[in-house]
Amino acid sequence: KVSEASAVTTKADIKPKSMHRAKIWSDDVENLYRFQQAGYRDEVEYKQVKQVDEVEFWPETGFVKKLQRRDNTFYYYNRQRECEDKDVRKVKVYVY
């Protein structure tokens, strides 16, 4: 499964055109929640900052499996949903 962020090429300094808050939970919102918990805007910024080509995803669910924070510690995520309904509106969705 390819997320929308993967479709955007990771050239230097790609900036989003706009941002809105998520209203309902989805697979994409779940992954954005995980990136933002680790201190990144989204997959595009993570790849730019960490200089990686691929992010590890759970094959069963397509959710992010592991992320490296800016201080080089790792976040490990479960296969199941972690973004609770009360947190959905905190997730920022960026438009490129």
Which long-range contacts link 12-20 to residues 24+ away (Cβ below 8 Å)?
12/48, 13/48, 14/44, 14/48, 14/96, 16/41, 16/94, 16/95, 16/96, 17/95, 17/96, 18/94, 18/95, 19/92, 19/93, 19/94, 19/95, 20/92, 20/93, 20/95
Q: How far apart are CA 88 and CA 72, in angstroms?
A: 26
The predicted model scores a pTM of 0.85
Walk along the chain (96 residues) and give the pLDDT tens digit of each residue. 445 554 444 456 788 999 999 999 999 999 999 999 999 999 999 999 999 999 999 999 999 999 999 999 999 999 999 999 999 999 999 999
